């Protein structure tokens, strides 16, 4: 029998995000107007969210380092991509897209609740090795996380939680940056 659930867009970014560069510690990269607050006890086991992020990423040449994407509930990392290698060709705000599916595996107080999350990222700035060069702008797509899939850090699903999207670079440089143009969060059931 059907559960009579509904798909719903919870939030969609309506303005261009700020271009963030020259930092390493992960931080929010979406406009404050695109934050979404889940009501207490919103989640149930099996609840699925889809987070889609697109925009532009810049990276420096030779030793560009890595970028890490994180889906956050407040200050808790509920999903992380792990460190993704940027390639050895300089790029300036070239397009990328990231899609993450999060399935609630457990609910409860303190740190009992958690998500299983997996994603896919695409863009010409991502690569498997640091020395790989962008040979005439070949796009790369990578499954995430870059490690074996595992549930994210536990959170309290009995309280209100603010959903956010953070990134961090391993090398602080004005040429390593991100600007989010589109950010959509959907409840799939």
Q: What share of the chain is helix, strand, coil (3-state, %, to 5)?
A: 0, 50, 50
Q: Contact 115/151 with Cβ under 8 angstroms?
A: yes
Percent of the chain clearing pLDDT 70 (strictly above): 93
List strand residue ranges (DSSP E) for 13-124, in order: 20-21, 27-28, 36-38, 48-59, 66-73, 76-80, 84-85, 91-106, 114-123
* Terminal C-alpha separation, the chain: 15
Domain assignment present for residue 1? The answer is: no
| Residue 87 pLDDT class (50, 70, 90 cuts) | confident
Q: How many domains does the chain have?
A: 1
- d(C-alpha 17, C-alpha 29), whole Å: 7
Residue 189 placed within a domain: no
Whether residue 35 is contained in a domain is answered as yes
Domain enclosing residue 37, as ranges? 8-16+23-174
Question: Mean pLDDT over residues 9-37, rounded?
Answer: 97
Within-domain flag for 188: no
Question: Residue range 4-20: average pLDDT?
Answer: 94
* Res 81: pLDDT: 95
pLDDT band at residue 89 under the 50/70/90 scheme: confident
Q: Is the pLDDT of residue 137 over 80?
A: no
Q: pLDDT tens for residues 30-79? A: 999 999 999 999 999 999 999 999 999 999 988 889 999 999 999 999 99
Does 186 reside within a domain? Answer: no
pLDDT tens digits, one per residue of 150-164: 999 999 999 999 999
pLDDT range class, residue 5, cuts 50, 70, 90? confident
Tokens 């699903």 belong to which residue?
157
What's the CA gap between 28 and 40, in Å, rounded? 22
């Amino acid at each position: 029998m059907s559960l009579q659930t509904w798909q719903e867009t919870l939030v969609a970014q309506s303005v261009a995000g700020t271009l963030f560069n020259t930092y390493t510690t992960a931080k929010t990269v979406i406009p404050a107007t695109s934050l979404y607050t889940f009501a207490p006890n919103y989640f149930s086991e099996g609840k699925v969210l889809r987070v889609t992020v697109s925009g532009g990423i810049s990276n420096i040449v030779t030793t560009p380092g890595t970028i890490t994407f994180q889906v956050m509930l407040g200050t808790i990392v509920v999903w992380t991509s792990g460190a993704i290698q940027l390639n050895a060709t300089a790029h300036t705000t070239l397009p990328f897209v990231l899609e993450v599916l999060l399935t609630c595996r457990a609910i409860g107080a303190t740190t009992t609740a958690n998500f299983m999350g997996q994603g896919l990222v695409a863009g010409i700035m991502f690569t498997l090795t640091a020395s790989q060069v962008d040979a005439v702008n070949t796009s790369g797509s990578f499954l995430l996380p870059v490690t074996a899939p595992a549930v994210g850090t536990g959170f309290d699903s009995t309280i209100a939680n603010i959903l956010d999207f953070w990134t961090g670079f391993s090398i602080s440089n004005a040429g390593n940056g991100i600007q989010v143009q589109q950010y959509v969060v959907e409840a799939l059931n």
